[in-house]
A = this chain, B = another copy of it.
Amino acid sequence: MNYPNGIKKNLSINNNPIHTNINYGNRGMTLEGELNLTNEYYREIDKAYIYKKPTPIKITKVDYPSRDKAVIKEAFFTIPSTTDYNGIYNGKYIDFEAKETASKTAFSLQNIHPHQIHHIENIYKQKGIVFLIIRFTTLNETYLLRAKEFLDFINKEKRKSIPIHYFRENAFIIKDGYKPRIDYLRIIDTVYGGI
């Protein structure tokens, strides 16, 4: 598969991809961009209030050029202790992490920090609705993998990556749409039932 309009390039900081203006073939938007649009749409129609958390940073230097303005002059990216997205859907707590991979064969677990795995475990035990959204960009397949199946894999397998067939057998495919782009709540309705 070719990407005539763009070059696949992974830039990352602490395993968080930095989204540059790379055009992924004809889709032209990163998973993060599409999830932001999806969450905006859910808010517009009053369906759910789910937000991406700001990138965690440690600020070490701030300048005050004028009374009301502050400019951060030095800061560092820090490792997130939670997942990136959370919010509420019909009174229920929703929590997830979203990642893209260019691999055609597996999703590397190095993309998820140990802190985040621990967080997913905690939320799962607290009966929150917690999952991963993983997009295989080269295959153009996006999956919703529930915490249960994610944690099962980690606890049973010693592999450092989750093979694509595990997703095909244990995760739910999310079809691309227009509005919303990535209708993951439809999967939640079906999978978790009666929300």
Contacts and interface: CB of A to CB of B under 8 A. Distances in A.
A108 interface: no
Contact of A126 (B48, B53, B76, B119): B48
A124 to B, nearest CB: 10
Interface string A73-103: 1111100011000111111111100000000
The complex is assembled from copies of this chain, and their number is 2
A70 interface: yes
Given A49-B126, A56-B54, A126-B48, A76 B72 contact: yes
A112 interface: no
Interface residues of A, number: 41
B75 A127 contact: no
A181 to B, nearest CB: 20
Contact of A77 (B18, B55, B70, B128): B70
